[in-house]
Each structure stands twice: as C-alpha cells, then as structure tokens.
A and B are shown apart, each in its own frame.
Chain A
C-alpha cells in the first residue's frame, strides 16, 4: 500500500536499525533516566511518553513500575508527557499504550532495579543473590542494607537499558494484574482542576475563534466601526484565521458572536451531495492498492455466493468536553499546554505553520475530556498559539464551542465496503473478495510533508490539509483495518481505494476502518450461515483455526445463553467477533435488541482476551465503554452536511446514546497473565456494531446495509430485499 514518502509512523512500526532489540518504545528511547527517577525522600517518578486519554493508562503504567521495582504503588508518581524530556513515543493511539509503553517501562524498571542492586551488593559486600527488595529497601540476610532512596543521587540511571536484564516472571507479579483503583479518578469526582480546561495561569486571557460559515471560505472583509467589542476584546487576524481575545471568558464569547456579524466571507460549494454520498465515493478521484491476494487452485468455486455493499456515513468523535489549549509566547519561545495525543508530533506541525524551529516550542500534555482518536486537540493548540503570538508574554486559553467540536474536528471517513463471498455445497468458505472505498484514516500531525492542523489552512500563505493516508497494514492499517477475515478462506482478495480528494477532513477515530469492515465480514458470515442452515456461532467456529478466537466466541455465546435462546416477538440476538487489527485483543460480543419504533440495544455480553490484563477492572471499563460507543455509532450517528458546511454541529443534530438507551453490559475477561498485554480500548467496538446488525436480522429478517440502523435505513433495506 502506498503511504506516501517520508511518513513517520513512529510507534506503529518499530524500525530495524541494527541495535539490539529492546521492548516497545525503549528501543528508540534507551536511556533509563528518561523513564525513571528515584528521589531521596522515597518517591519514584516515571515518565511515560504515552498520555492519559481517560483510558486509565497512568494507573496501569504505575502498577507495572511498582511491581518491577518492588515498591508500593503509592510511591509512584507519573509525570505527564512534555517535550523535550519525555521519551518520544509517537502518538497515544491504536490501543498500543500498554504494548509500547508498558513493555518499555517494565523492562526499564527491571534494568533500574538490577543496576541499583548491583551497586548495593558492591557497596555492602552482600552477594547479589542474597539481596531482596521490599518496598524500595534492600535487605540482606542480616537486615536492611540500603535502598533506592539512599542511592537516588548517584546518577545510576544515566545509561542505556540492556537487553539482557529479564523482567520478573508473571507468577512473581503482585500489583500488575490487580484492579488497582484509578489514580486520576478522585480528582474527577471531587471536581478538582485537572483538565487543561481548568488551567489558570497568572494573567491568562481567553480567546474564541470565529470560524468561517463554510468549508474553505476566505475572509474578504472585516467591517470596522459599530460598537466596541465587549470587555475591550481585541481582534486577531491572520489571513482567514480570525479570533478575539479578552481578559474575561464571557467577554471573549460575546465578542466572537459580535465579530462574526461583521465579517464577509467568500464561500463556495465544496462538499458532496449528502444524499448521494455512496455514489460520490464510487466516482471520486482515488488510488487503488491491494491489501492481500491469495489464491488456491484446487477448490471448487461453485456454491452459494452472497454479494453485499455496506455503507457508513462519516462519524464524529463527539467528546463531551470541547477541545481546549493554552499557549504563551515569550522571547521567541512558545509554550503550549495541550491534550494532544502526541506532544512531539504536534510540535513538528506547530513549527511548520509558525515557521520557527521545533526546539523553540515546549509542548506539555494536560488531560482533556475523553479522547477517542485524532480529534481537534492539536488544532486548538495551533489556534491558541496564533492568538498568543499577538499578545506576547500573556498566556491565552482557547476553548472550542460545541459547534466547532462537532463541525470542525476531523471525522472518521464515510466508507463503502463491497463483499462477495462464496461457500461450497458443504457450506465451507472458498472465496472472498472485498473492495473498500474510503478517505484515508490518518491525518495526524507530524507525519506528512505539509502540516495537518486545521487553522494552518486558513492563515496567510497557508496550505490545505493534505488528503489523509492509511497506515500500512503492518501498523494496523487505516481504512483496511480488520478487513482481512480471520476465518479460513482459500481464495482471498481485498482491494483498497483511497480517495485523493478530501472535502471533509478525516482522520483516526476509535477502530478506524474496523467497525465497517467487521460489520461487513460478520454480516456476510451470518448470511452464509443461513444459506448453509448453520448456527451463526457454530458457522464461525467451523472457520476459525485460532484457539483464542474460538474461546472468546464460545465464552460470549455461553454468557448470553445463545444455544438455548428462545424466539421472542420483536427481539433479536446477534453475534460479532474480531481480533482487533488481526494482531491485538480478541473480542466477541453477543447483542440483544428490541425492535420497537426504533431499534434499542437491550443487552450486550462481551468476552475478551487481552493477554496479560494489567488492571482487569480497567480493562472491563474500557471494553464496556468501547462497546457502548459501538452501539451509539451503529444506531444513531451520522455527520450531516449540505454543500458548504457541516450541519450536525449540536447534540440535537448529532445525537449519541443516552442513559435511557444504554444496554445492560456483562463482560468476561479471559485471563492470560503469561501472554503479552494488549490494548482493550478499541477491540469491543466493531464486534458490537456487527452483533447489533445480526440481532436486527434475527428480529426483523432484514439485512441492514447502511449505518446508522435507524427506522429509515431499516425500511430501505426491507424495500431492497
């Protein structure tokens, strides 16, 4: 697949660079002191390059470190990522945090422990084998002989990690593998100032951006005169980027509304016709590539063939909090406080738009509201930097409005997936052809030649955000993520058509292409099972060689009482399965729906295998959250637009699942402490979408072909049947 040239997918694909292989991101950030510091007062600071997105990663990482160092969890402090000192771990995405960062940290801590014990052995004459660590204190046969804290100032970690040191065996872990409470949750239930939104720096000003009324519109006139802006608000303009800044937030908000009425924009139709979006996808300029192609000659291609086309409109991140950032320029240096997923990546693109050296920019991570992929966090950081440049030495906080959040963040691309699958007379799959049409699923900053920050296209001399790309399949893929069925299929061909125009900016959102691809696969499997007169679960198991896949499928079916389920009027059950990215966590979901005026998801049963679960309760929380996100996407979500603008820019026009609509969820984790840990945040989403589609077919006898599964799309599928 073509990913373009000069792409930096750091964290997705580990470089082969001839150096001895170290686990995860330790390979490219080898110095131990970058990761760990012991303090004389009995504390440890760990410095992960991955960031908290609401997924509980800080807690899991602290657990890993505490275990490997033999110190209590309470001694561990986590310093959040910031340039230039944090390890560069690329972006916190793709459910890779525990894999990349956890394994790196575990190995770094094992190294740190070994080095400290060696030094203690030398100092005290106690043989290394006779030393043990208890909560940071070193014990010899005769009692305590030293501690990390006593050796804290000795700069022992100013060296590279060694591949030789071995981390503890799983059986020796005491803290990793337990459901330690989230470190960040107390702040959140007491309303403490923890989010970037809550940052209050001395002299901080508040700004709001005045967005154009249409995509790509140019600012042609800013009418002077009229009453002065409230609160002495000041206008900041750079090309077609327009903002107001004031001392008080309510004044900035009021001034933005006032200013918007004084602007004349030049607008044009730039968006496709929403009602014919599927046709547009088929006809838009594109490049083709082959994801996989394999053929077996000795199988009969005769049999039952099913052909289906699956469509999903673009969907939005729809975080409950809007994007926010604080920036300050002083003496040619820019400081940025951001909830970006990748502080180094953001720095790269900020430097490009602002035309300064990256070394002159300090980017600090501060938590934001729930992040489900590449949202507007990076964009708003540029907005803050642009405004702050006009008011040197004063910190400026920019908060996006709900309309900006839902209307201007990157979306997950609309997708069209066509599947043609054939089973032989015995009901065994013999061939599978699939064609995916989609915009790319990544336009994260720091990876392309041109910057990808929203306002970068609007400043004087700005360039449009380049069309999104797809990470290579070895890095999990983008539009093609999870398009290769895990089922045994002799003849297989999957083509990928990436659009080379991008009227609506698209990027990574939870699962990337997986929700559509898995829905397409599982739906097709259901259809073939029906033709073969087989039970959907049994039909899947028949085509699975992977025992861990079979186990989650059986577990979910058992939890749901699948085998003994009774037919009930208006109620349906469906099943969905995937191994996320075909290389990460295994997850199977059984969904129960009630088909009333609308379809309601009533219950979900989720079984997952994430290898070693560092924090089982945290994993359950993530599985449930991902599944509910999937239900919401399946039943409700669609970005709406006319030829110029996104019209679904409020919660009324972009509804998500509410308390009254949320299914009851049961999760089961298949524990494998001896297996590598795998991320849990995304694996349940796609199978949940698929399971709901299956349940709709079960209840209504209709195969839905377009998301979201609303009365309209269900009626359309009935008409087509």
Chain B
C-alpha cells in the first residue's frame, strides 16, 4: 500500500501497510533520525512530529492517517546553515545534555510559538508537559523557548 504526504515541504510516498506507525516510516524508508522511539505509548514525546502544524505522537499514529497531509519533523525546522530561531536559541542557551529528547521538544515548541508568540513560563511548561527529559535540562529549555519567542517577535532569525 502506498501512502503519499508532504514531509518537511517535499512530496513523499511510502510503500508500507497503512497500519504501520508513522514513526517506523519516518525512521525506516524515509531515513530520518530526529523522531525517536522512547515508549511507543504516547507517554514520553520523543517521537513527536507536527501533522498540519499540530503535535502528534508518531509512535501510535498510523501511516494512513497522514495521507495527503503535511508532516514536519525537527529536520524540517531548520539546518545548521539556516537554523529555526528555536534551534539557534537552544544552542545559545546550551539547552540539552544527551539531547535525545530535543527533536520532539523542538517541534512541540514550534507549534506553541505558532499559536502564541509570547508564552509565559506556565504556558511553555504546559506545552512541553507531554515530553520527558531525564537529564534535567528543563529550565534551560524553557529559557531557550522564551529566547526564541523574543527573537521571532523582533523579527530576528537567530538568538
């Protein structure tokens, strides 16, 4: 079965049974590394991707549910040459230790800043609550999201 959707702005098609998870498709035939398996049960957020701009758990989302939709992963946020303000801010704040949790957190933060350009700490914590970070980078991550929001409001790309 073939599923067609837009991945980070590019049209892709995947030949896998429709009930296979989006996560397996992204990490398998589509060759991405950012979305990661952490629990397979919507309990940790390491697999988070944006589907039509909304954070969704790729570990439980069936591939056929994204037919014709736009999927965005951390790879689609920015590149080292042209980083998303969030990525620049995470680097500026050195927000992370092992970094395993970051790709999921970054896409959730991007969705938050899309709907709320000036979130307070409580709003950031609430938006990131589906995500676990065992390294304890939370406070730096919150600071980085604030920093990115500021940069975006001021129309700057980087931190």
Residues of A within 8 A of B (CB): 53-56, 179, 181-182, 184-195, 197-198, 200, 248-250, 253, 318-322, 367-372, 399, 401-402, 617-618, 621-622, 624-629, 650-652, 656, 658-660, 662, 664-665
Contacts and interface: CB of A to CB of B under 8 A. Distances in A.
Contact of B44 (A248, A368, A401, A651): A651
Contacts of A369: 98, 100, 134
Interface in B66-121: 73-75, 78-80, 83, 87, 90-91, 94, 96-103, 106
A191 B132 contact: no
Contacts of A318: 134
B24 interface: yes
Given A189-B102, A249-B28, A370-B98, A662 B138 contact: yes
A249 B36 CA distance: 13
A372 B32 CA distance: 27
A370 B134 contact: yes
B91 A181 contact: yes
A198 B32 CA distance: 9
A190 B78 contact: yes
A54 B75 contact: no
6 closest residue pairs by CB, A with B: A191-B34, A54-B98, A188-B99, A628-B136, A625-B136, A370-B98
Contacts of A319: 98, 100, 134
B32 to A, nearest CB: 7
Contacts of A652: 43
A617 B94 contact: yes
Nearest to A630: B136
A150 B155 CA distance: 47
A321 B138 contact: no
B159 to A, nearest CB: 12
B96 A662 contact: no
B126 interface: yes
Interface centre among B16, B31, B96, B128 (most CB of A within 10 A): B96
A617 B34 CA distance: 26
A445 to B, nearest CB: 22
Nearest to B16: A250
Given A185-B91, A248-B28, A250-B24, A402 B126 contact: no
A662 B143 CA distance: 13
Contacts of A56: 97
A500 to B, nearest CB: 32
Nearest to B126: A660
Contacts of B32: 191
Nearest to B75: A191
Contacts of A53: 98
18 contacts: A54-B100, A182-B96, A189-B90, A189-B102, A189-B106, A190-B79, A319-B134, A321-B38, A369-B98, A372-B134, A617-B94, A621-B140, A624-B140, A626-B136, A650-B41, A659-B125, A659-B128, A660-B126
A190 B97 contact: no
A192 B27 CA distance: 12
Interface of B: 16, 20-21, 24, 27-28, 31-41, 43-44, 46, 73-75, 78-80, 83, 87, 90-91, 94, 96-103, 106, 124-126, 128-129, 131-140, 142
Interface centre among A179, A184, A370 (most CB of B within 10 A): A370
B28 A192 contact: no
A658 B129 contact: yes
Contacts of B136: 624-629, 662
Interface centre among B73, B99, B139 (most CB of A within 10 A): B99
B28 A621 contact: no
A673 to B, nearest CB: 21
A652 B99 CA distance: 22
B27 A249 contact: yes
A187 B41 CA distance: 26
Contacts of B129: 658-660
A368 B37 CA distance: 13
Contacts of B97: 54-56, 370, 621-622, 625
Contacts of B39: 402, 650-651
In terms of DSSP, what is the predominant structure of the interface of chain B?
loop
Nearest to B106: A189
Given A320-B46, A402-B41, A651-B43, A370 B100 contact: yes
B141 to A, nearest CB: 8
A186 to B, nearest CB: 6
B80 A190 contact: yes
Contacts of B142: 659
B92 to A, nearest CB: 9
Contacts of B24: 248-250, 253
B119 to A, nearest CB: 13
Interface centre among B24, B91, B97, B101 (most CB of A within 10 A): B97
A625 B139 CA distance: 10
A171 to B, nearest CB: 26
A662 B44 CA distance: 16
B77 to A, nearest CB: 8
A471 B100 CA distance: 31
A452 B56 CA distance: 39
Given A54-B98, A190-B87, A621-B137, A321 B21 contact: no
A55 B136 CA distance: 11
Nearest to B76: A191
B138 A189 contact: no
A636 to B, nearest CB: 12
Contacts of A617: 94
Contacts of B78: 190
Contacts of B87: 189-190
B41 A188 contact: no
Contacts of B124: 659
B86 to A, nearest CB: 8
Nearest to B35: A191
A340 to B, nearest CB: 15
Nearest to B59: A402
A266 to B, nearest CB: 29
Contact of B38 (A54, A184, A402): A402
B98 to A, nearest CB: 3
Contacts of B139: 624, 662, 664-665
Contacts of A188: 96, 98-100, 102-103
Contact of B132 (A194, A320, A621, A626): A320
A197 B32 CA distance: 11
A320 B102 contact: no
Contacts of A181: 91, 94
B75 A190 contact: yes
A401 B94 contact: no
B63 to A, nearest CB: 10
A687 to B, nearest CB: 15
A691 to B, nearest CB: 15
A181 B94 CA distance: 7
B95 to A, nearest CB: 8
Contacts of A399: 37
A37 B80 CA distance: 28
Contacts of B38: 320-322, 402
Nearest to A626: B136
Nearest to A367: B98
Contact of B100 (A182, A192, A195, A401): A195
Given A250-B20, A402-B38, 18 more contacts: A53-B98, A185-B94, A185-B96, A191-B73, A193-B33, A197-B37, A249-B28, A320-B44, A321-B36, A621-B94, A624-B136, A625-B135, A651-B44, A656-B132, A658-B132, A659-B131, A660-B126, A662-B139
A184 B125 CA distance: 25
A194 B41 CA distance: 24
Interface centre among A248, A367, A658 (most CB of B within 10 A): A658
A371 B98 contact: yes
B50 to A, nearest CB: 13
Interface centre among A182, A195, A320, A652 (most CB of B within 10 A): A320
Contacts of B99: 54, 184-185, 187-189, 194
